[in-house]
Chains A and B, each alone.
Chain A
Amino acid sequence: MKGATSTDSSSSSSVAKSKKPVYSRFSQQELPANRLILTPASIITAFIAVGLIFIPLGLVSLFASDSVVEIIHRYDVDCLPSEYQNKMVEFIQSSSTKKTCTKSLTVPKQMKSPVFIYYQLENFYQNHRRFVKSRSDKQLHYGDKNAISTCAPVAQSTDKSPIVPCGLVAWSLFNDTYGFSVKGKSLQVNKKDIAWGSDKNYKFGHNVFPENFQKTDQVGGAKLDSSKPLSEQEDLIVWMRTATLPTFRKLYGRIEQDLQANDMVTVVIENNYNTYGFKGTKSLVLSTTSWIGGKNNFIGLAYITVGAICLLLAIFFILLYVIKPR
Chain B
Amino acid sequence: MELQNSNQSSSSFEISKGSTLMQEKHGMSQRICHKIMQFEDNLLHGENPRLIYINDPRRTNDKYEFTGNEITTSKYTVITFLPKNLFIQFHRVAYLYFLAIAALNQLPPLAVFGRTVSLFPLLFVLCVTAVKDGYEDWRRHRSDQKENNREALVLHGDRFQLKKWKKIQAGEVVKIRSDETIPCDMVLLSTSDPSGLAYIQTMNLDGESNLKTRYARQETVSYVSEDPVSGLIREDSVSGLIRCEQPNRNIYEFTANMEFNGQKFALSQSNIVLRGCQLKNTESIIGVVVYAGKETKAMLNSAASPSKRSRLEVYMNRETLWLSVFLLVMCLVVSCGMGLWLLRHTEELDTLPYYRKVYFTHGKDKFKKYKYYGIPMETFFSFLSSIIVFQIMIPISLYITMELVRLGQSYFMIEDRHMYDSSSGSRFQCRSLNINEDLGQIRYVFSDKTGTLTENKMEFRRASVYGKNYGSSRVSDSIEGQGTAAAKAVGRRRWKRNSEIAFDNELMELLTKDLAGDERIAAHEFFLTLAACNTVIPIPSSGRSSSCTGSESLNVETIDYQGESPDEQALVSAASAYGYTLFERTSGHIGIEIDDKRLRFNVLGLHEFDSVRKRMSVIIRFPDNSVKVLVKGADTSMFSILAKDSNSNDLVRHATESHLTEYSSQGLRTLVVAARDLTDAELEQWQHMYEDASNSLADRAQKLRQTALFIESNLNLLGATGIEDKLQDGVPEAIEALQQAGIKVWVLTGDKQETAISIGLSCKLLSADMQQIIINGHSEEECKSLLTAAKDKYGVKSSNRKKKSSTSTDNTENNHLDIPNDTKSSNVPEGCYGKEEVNASLALIIDGNSLVYILEKNWETDLFDIATSCRVVLCCRVAPLQKAGIVDLIKSRTDDMTLAIGDGANDVSMIQMADVGVGICGQEGRQAVMASDFAMGQFRFLKRLLLVHGHWNYQRVGYLVLYNFYRNAVFVLMLFWYILCTAFSTTSALTDWSSVFYSVIYTSVPTIFVGILDKDLSHRTLLQYPKLYCAGHRQEAYNMHLFWITMCDTLWQSLVLFYIPLYVYKESTIDIWSMGSLWTIAVVILVNIHLAMDIQRWIFITHAAVWGSIVVTYACMVILDSFPLLPNYWTIYHLAKLSTYWLTILLIIIVALLPRFLLKAVHQFFWPSDIQIAREAEILRKQGSHLSSKRNQDYPS
Contacts and interface: CB of A to CB of B under 8 A. Distances in A.
Interface of A: 17-21, 23, 27-29, 31-40, 43, 46, 50, 54, 57, 61, 89, 118, 120, 124-132, 134-135, 137-138, 141, 152-154, 156-158, 160, 168, 171-172, 196, 198-199, 202-203, 216-218, 220-221, 241-251, 274, 277-278, 291-294, 296, 298-299, 302-303, 306, 309-310, 313, 317, 320, 326
B33 interface: no
Contacts of B985: 125, 127-130
B63 interface: no
Given A126-B354, A158-B362, A298-B1063, A202 B1124 contact: yes
Contact of A154 (B360, B981, B983): B360
B92 interface: no
Nearest to B983: A125
Contacts of B1071: 241-244
Given A20-B417, A35-B1098, A309-B1154, A202 B1129 contact: yes
Contacts of B416: 21, 27-28
Nearest to A202: B1124
B399 interface: no
Closest 9 pairs between A and B when the two form their complex, measured CB to CB: A198-B1130, A172-B353, A241-B1071, A27-B415, A131-B354, A129-B985, A153-B370, A216-B360, A244-B1075
B1068 A294 contact: yes
B354 A17 contact: no
A289 to B, nearest CB: 10
Contacts of A221: 353
A186 B258 CA distance: 119
A135 B1144 CA distance: 30
A297 B335 CA distance: 35
B354 A38 contact: no
10 contacts: A20-B427, A37-B1175, A137-B1124, A152-B371, A199-B1129, A203-B1124, A218-B360, A241-B1072, A293-B1068, A306-B1147
Interface string B1125-1149: 1110110011000111001100100
Contacts of A61: 1143
Interface of B: 112, 345, 348, 351-356, 358-363, 365-366, 370-371, 411-412, 414-417, 420, 422, 425-427, 981-983, 985-987, 989, 1013, 1015, 1060, 1062-1075, 1096-1101, 1124-1127, 1129-1130, 1133-1134, 1138-1140, 1143-1144, 1147, 1150-1151, 1154, 1157-1158, 1160-1161, 1164-1165, 1168, 1175-1176, 1179
Contacts of A29: 412, 1013, 1015
Contact of A277 (B112, B352, B1139): B352
Contact of A33 (B1097, B1125, B1138, B1158): B1097
Contact of A28 (B415, B1062, B1134, B1176): B415
A290 B1113 CA distance: 30
A33 B1098 contact: yes
B1064 A298 contact: yes
Given A129-B986, A135-B1127, A220 B353 contact: yes
A28 B417 contact: yes
A271 to B, nearest CB: 16
B1133 A317 contact: no
Contacts of A128: 354-355, 982-983, 985, 987
A132 B1150 contact: no
Most buried by A among B987, B1062, B1097: B987
A39 B1175 CA distance: 11
Contacts of A118: 1069
A224 to B, nearest CB: 16
A30 B221 CA distance: 63
A37 B1179 contact: yes
A172 B1179 contact: no
A208 B1134 CA distance: 24
B1064 A299 contact: yes
B425 A19 contact: yes
A293 B1161 contact: no
A158 B361 contact: yes
Nearest to B1130: A198
Chain B CB within 10 Å, residue with most, of A54, A120, A248:
A248
B420 A19 contact: yes
Nearest to A116: B1069
Given A33-B1099, A302-B1060, A217 B360 contact: yes
Contact of A40 (B412, B422, B1165): B1165
Contacts of B1013: 29
From A153, A218, A274, A326, name the one whose CB has the most chain B CB atoms within 10 angstroms. A153
A120 B1066 CA distance: 11
A198 B1129 CA distance: 8
B808 to A, nearest CB: 48
A221 B1179 CA distance: 69
A198 B1134 contact: yes
Given A54-B1150, A203-B1124, A217-B361, A196 B1134 contact: yes
B1127 A137 contact: yes
A244 B989 contact: yes
Nearest to B981: A245
A291 B112 CA distance: 37
Contacts of A50: 1150
Contacts of A134: 356
A274 B353 contact: yes
B1072 A244 contact: yes
A19 B1157 CA distance: 46
B420 A21 contact: yes
A19 B415 CA distance: 10
A162 B1096 CA distance: 61
A277 B1069 contact: no
Most buried by A among B371, B1157, B1175: B1157
A46 B1160 CA distance: 13
Contacts of A199: 1129-1130
B987 A132 contact: yes
A32 B1099 contact: yes
A108 to B, nearest CB: 18
B705 to A, nearest CB: 43
Contacts of A131: 353-355
A72 to B, nearest CB: 9
Nearest to B1147: A302
Contacts of A251: 1069
Given A137-B1125, A168-B354, A293-B1068, 18 more contacts: A19-B426, A20-B427, A21-B416, A23-B417, A27-B412, A27-B415, A28-B416, A36-B1096, A38-B1160, A40-B1165, A152-B371, A202-B1124, A244-B1070, A246-B981, A246-B983, A278-B348, A310-B1154, A320-B1165
Nearest to A294: B1068
Contacts of B1151: 302, 306
B1067 A291 contact: no
Given A216-B361, A277-B351, A313-B1158, A292 B1140 contact: yes
A244 B412 contact: no
Nearest to A303: B1147
Contacts of A46: 1157
Contacts of A19: 420, 425-427
B1150 A306 contact: yes
A129 B1129 contact: no
B355 A132 contact: no
Nearest to A89: B351
B791 to A, nearest CB: 45
Contacts of B422: 20
Contacts of A35: 1096-1098, 1175, 1179
A23 B370 CA distance: 68
Nearest to B412: A29
A320 B1162 CA distance: 10
Given A128-B985, A303-B1147, A137 B1126 contact: yes
A117 B1007 CA distance: 48
A219 to B, nearest CB: 9
Contacts of A152: 359, 370-371
